[in-house]
Structure 1
Amino acid sequence: MKKLWMATAFLLLLCMIAACGDSESSSGGNDGEDVPKELTYASTSDAKGLSPIDTNDSVSSNVIVQVYETLFTLDPETMEPQPLLAESYETPDENTWVIKLNEGITFHDGTPFNAEAVKYSFEQMKDPERAAPRASLLEPIESIEVEDEYTVVLNTKEPYGPMLAALSHTNAAIVSPTADQEGDINREPVGTGPFVFEDWEEGDQVVLTKNEDYWREPTQLEKVVFKVVPEFSTAISMLETGDVQFLDAIPSDHISRVESLNNVEVQKKEGTRVSYLTFNVEKEPFNDLEFRQAVAYAVDQESYVNQLNGLGEYNESIIGPKVFGYNEDAQDTGYNYDPDKAAEIIEANGYGDETFTMLVANRDNYMKMAEIVQAQLSDVGLNVQIETMEWGAFLDTARAGEYEMTFLGWANSTADGSELLYPNLHTDNIGGSNYTRYNNEDFNKLVEESRITVDQDVRKEKLHEANVLAIQDVPWVVMEHGVVTAAYDESVNGLSVDPTGQWSLYNVTRE
């Protein structure tokens, strides 16, 4: 009996060990399955649209760059263009670009990616009736030819030095011709990228899912949510609790709190972005150089930058240090802070007798600039009131020239000075990306000369001359050159923000 009991106990013990072993194996398998495959990004603003042809703002671009792809892309370390959808290119002469495309790629709707799709996308960008806000990227292209299914030829009117940089820009992404003709890609985007559009609840969130048929190795993330969180302090709280895993463009007032979070990694690096105060120079007295000079003398950008907790750099050059065409001599050609000089000009011209309106988008960085500049202008005798507006409405209003003074920024996604000065300050783009409505023939000529040569030394020379001219003519008062930032949960790996402020979630994983 005793032997029977011992045998039974031994069998029970073996079963328990086996059960424990099975349980541990199961747990180990579940651990692998429980690795998070989703990521939520917090944005203080909703996207304006989801079409690379029809939008031109950083909030929209954050989504677009996950869904669409360009022929070339900028290396995040060197900022040099390298092939993406393109396989290779050659320039048989200085006005001809022959681009070979990668084969076997399809858009998310099954439409083949080929030379016809490239031709269609670029012709839509250039179509005046479509009024693409970044049509200037492709303005030098005179014609687009399909040589064969996977070869496209771009013919320019004159040599175009920034061509590869322009073709790396998010707004030069290739769209599905089928989706664009049969639907609304500004609402339902269709690209070739690693993520597929699923849903957009305006004012709340955009949802993307994994592209299982991606032409490269598919991403490990199954789902990405772009969550609209209007208050940055709320976004930080959600990052701390794990409700969101990623946010970027951290306002200076919040950086110390973000850096104090135990479960969060923070990236900071010198960027290409420039933020500035600008005027509608088609209106009086903003078309008066003396008025703009008075404002330039009155604004103390260095004191503003000192309040940014290391998230901005003081330099009055329009072309910043991380952008092609920068010459450090330019930083000494502007108007140093001189409130007495500003007050003298204002009094002499009677500018203090009027009240001016500063239109400001409801984003933390612009609101901070507006409050500081309003106080500084008040100190020298200018009466300025602030009017705030939601981001999407602000863009439409500012583009239409329905403002007097405002604050804007330019990410410099191409990292090329020509593609900073031409879209923003050249006469060709009034009504589009030239919100300032600036028109200066000498400036136009210099910028054009910087674009129509492939000699990079000549381009640098022309860009420097144009930059200095604009600094002295004051269509902009540069507030700061940006430092790009990102904060993300410690479970996030493979995330990197490049100097333009752009980021891709393609290589991101969570563990």
Structure 2
Amino acid sequence: MKKILFSLVALTFLLLAACSSDSNGNNEQGSNGNEEGGESAADQELIYATTSDAPGLSPIDTNDSVSSNVVDQVFETLFVRNSDTGEIEPRLAESYETPDDTTWVIELKEGIEFHDGTPFNAEAVKYTFETLIDPERAAPRASLLAPVESVEVEDEYTVVINTKEPYGAMLAALSHSNSAIVSPEADQNGDINQEPVGTGPYKFVEWSKGDQIVLEKNEDYWRGEPGLDKVTFKVVPSVSTAISMMETGEVHFIDGVTSEHKSRIEGNDSFELITKDGTPVYNLGFNYEHEPMNDVEFRKAVSHALNRDSYVETLDGLGVRSNSIVGPQVFGYDESNEDLGYEYDPEKAKEIVEENGFDSETYHMLVPNRDAYINMGEIVQAQLSEVGINVEMEMMEWGTFLDVATEGEFDLTFLSWSNVTGDGSELLYPNLHSDNIGSSNRARYANDEFDQLVEASRDTTDQEARKEFLVEANQLAVEDAIWIPMHHGVIAAAVHESVKGLELESTGRWELYQVTRE
């Protein structure tokens, strides 16, 4: 029996929490008083600017980074990934054990309540996970728990997860935003996609569609009262507008900073630019149900047409060039895969285009109306045109783009994946395994050999064996030009000088629990 307890981690965390409660503005005088050196309640509001409204606010019913930014403040997962070490650590879980390869016994922390007052317990975990994998709910990230056969309540604070086969990525899956635990009562009696109810440090207040989402601190939060009184997610037209609002103090935090705005941020002494090598991957993807996107010769022509070195240079240090779909910060990466793929060779691309008549049609390229994707779209459109491949670019609002891309209404599009787990299986399985066509596999790619390799990477708890399967699956994907990796992300955010304690994870996630304003 393999048993892992987290008492030392928990003790350390409690000690740190006790220390921070005296220094982060959570004490009565610091948060609510006007004593010298203290902050007023109004000062403890943080305004985050986003260029897209969230499609929804439920971890079960969404699968995008904009929604997850809100979800991560309101809901919590059983486990979390330590961004510095890559290790999986407990959050709502206390400990776990695996008496055999298909059984996970998880002990839960006690005395925690959801924002609506209902208890967090094994029944809530069972309800959440069964709902996540229920076909009638059609959760977009049901694939996280696809190997699960049953979820059982052993006692009030012990849940047992049984899988159909060994599942090596189980802890990574349970650390994902979309595995966050929801209030059963709120989900059954309301709409948590509009009015979310979790156990997290911030509670939902209101959502003015297209304008803002407002959260307030959870004064009864089990880890201690958070430092901010209020958090507002403000929808703005562009990153440039957000920076202007930061200059006037109307906004305190933005992420997804692109090279276009980097110098402006770095040139303002009131801002700080925070960067971190990340797990996100940005790809040019094809719809494999459309001709000639399903022809490997077409995909090779596109690959040879793209000068990705030149493209990455436009990112000014905010992107990493790689031939590998599984990136350097992700479990399963192997440097040998950098030697694969199809390098920039416009003459070769022209030759393939002319031989196959790929210049006889105009192809539909779908692009979300966010700065990073627009930049990619314009560069790719121009470079493809130079070799005789004509594409018509259509831009769409983020939420609409997700729906249209899922329905397969495109020839080419830009696909990205934050890879919140930092695990290669949870990159390749949801995005490119045939099980997920019609949901997260927007490319509609199906390949039996690839499927078997990805399944093998999930069906063992031997981490070295998992990595070997992932390296092989990644090699097949690169050689088949399933996706063309445009770049791997460097996480970049700008914060106002008054914001203290914000840390970025390599996955692009961030939490506001420990954040204050001075």
Q: Same fold (TM over 0.5)?
A: yes
Supply the AA of the counterpart residue of 1:220: G
Alignment match, 1:234: 241
Supply the AA of the counterpart residue of 2:451: N
Deviations 1:378-402 (A, max 9, x none): 0000111101111101100000111
Does structure 2 retain, via aligned residues, the 8 Å contact 1:359–1:386?
yes
Task: For 2:502 and 2:488, locate their aligned partners in 1 and report how far apart those are by CA, in whole Å.
Answer: 23
Tell me which of 262, 266, 269 is aligned to 1:262: 269
Does structure 1 retain, via aligned residues, the 8 Å contact 2:107–2:159?
yes
Tell me which of 138, 157, 177 is aligned to 1:131: 138
Cα distance, 1:148–1:371 mapped onto 2, change above 3 Å: same
Does structure 1 retain, via aligned residues, the 8 Å contact 2:56–2:194?
yes
Supply the AA of the counterpart residue of 1:33: S
Q: Any residues of structure 2 matched to 1:49-448 within 5 Å, and which?
A: 49-448=56-455
Moved more, 56-65 or 211-220: 211-220
Deviations 1:38-93 (A, max 9, x none): 00000010001000000000000000000000000011211211000000000001
How far apart are 1:29 and its partner, in Å?
4.7
Supply the AA of the counterpart residue of 1:393: T
How far apart are 1:36 and its partner, in Å?
1.4
Does structure 2 retain, via aligned residues, the 8 Å contact 1:194–1:218?
yes
Task: For 2:425 and 2:363, locate their aligned partners in 1 and report how far apart those are by CA, in whole Å.
Answer: 32
Does structure 2 retain, via aligned residues, the 8 Å contact 1:281–1:475?
no
Supply the AA of the counterpart residue of 2:211: D
Does structure 2 retain, via aligned residues, the 8 Å contact 1:399–1:431?
yes
Moved more, 29-38 or 338-347: 29-38
Tell me which of 489, 508, 518 is aligned to 1:482: 489
Deviations 1:323-370 (A, max 9, x none): 000000011110011111111010001010101110111010000000
How far apart are 1:33 and its partner, in Å?
3.3
Task: For 1:325 and 1:27, locate their aligned partners in 2 and report how far apart those are by CA, in whole Å.
Answer: 52
Q: How high is the sequence identity, in percent, across the aligned residues?
A: 64
What TM-score do you get using the length of structure 2 for normalisation?
0.93
Task: For 1:345 and 1:30, locate their aligned partners in 2 and report how far apart those are by CA, in whole Å.
Answer: 69
Task: For 2:41 and 2:34, locate their aligned partners in 1 and report how far apart those are by CA, in whole Å.
Answer: 10
Cα distance, 1:220–1:339 mapped onto 2, change above 3 Å: same
Alignment match, 2:470: 463
Does structure 2 retain, via aligned residues, the 8 Å contact 1:35–1:510?
no
Task: For 1:354 and 1:228, locate their aligned partners in 2 and report how far apart those are by CA, in whole Å.
Answer: 38
Task: For 1:464 and 1:240, locate their aligned partners in 2 and report how far apart those are by CA, in whole Å.
Answer: 46
**What is the SS of the residue equivalent to 1:479?**
strand
Alignment match, 2:27: none
**What is the SS of the residue equivalent to 2:43?**
coil
**What is the SS of the residue equivalent to 1:36?**
helix
Deviations 1:144-193 (A, max 9, x none): 00000000000011110011010000000000000000000000000000
Does structure 2 retain, via aligned residues, the 8 Å contact 1:252–1:307?
yes
Supply the AA of the counterpart residue of 1:104: G
Does structure 2 retain, via aligned residues, the 8 Å contact 1:366–1:408?
no
Deviations 1:7-51 (A, max 9, x none): xxxxxxxxxxxxxxxxxxx97458543671100000010001000
State the 4+ residue runs in structure 1 displaced beyond 2 angstroms: 26-35
Task: For 1:377 and 1:361, locate their aligned partners in 2 and report how far apart those are by CA, in whole Å.
Answer: 19
What TM-score do you get using the length of structure 1 for normalisation?
0.94
Alignment match, 1:13: none
Supply the AA of the counterpart residue of 1:446: L
Cα distance, 1:218–1:446 mapped onto 2, change above 3 Å: same
Alignment match, 1:22: none
Does structure 1 retain, via aligned residues, the 8 Å contact 2:52–2:235?
yes
Task: For 1:387 and 1:200, locate their aligned partners in 2 and report how far apart those are by CA, in whole Å.
Answer: 29
Supply the AA of the counterpart residue of 2:255: D
Supply the AA of the counterpart residue of 1:434: N
Does structure 1 retain, via aligned residues, the 8 Å contact 2:34–2:40?
no
Gaps of 5+ in 2: 1-32
Does structure 2 retain, via aligned residues, the 8 Å contact 1:70–1:174?
yes
Does structure 2 retain, via aligned residues, the 8 Å contact 1:279–1:476?
yes
Higher Cα Rg, which structure: 1
How far apart are 1:252 and its partner, in Å?
1.2
Task: For 2:34 and 2:137, locate their aligned partners in 1 and report how far apart those are by CA, in whole Å.
Answer: 56
Supply the AA of the counterpart residue of 1:148: D
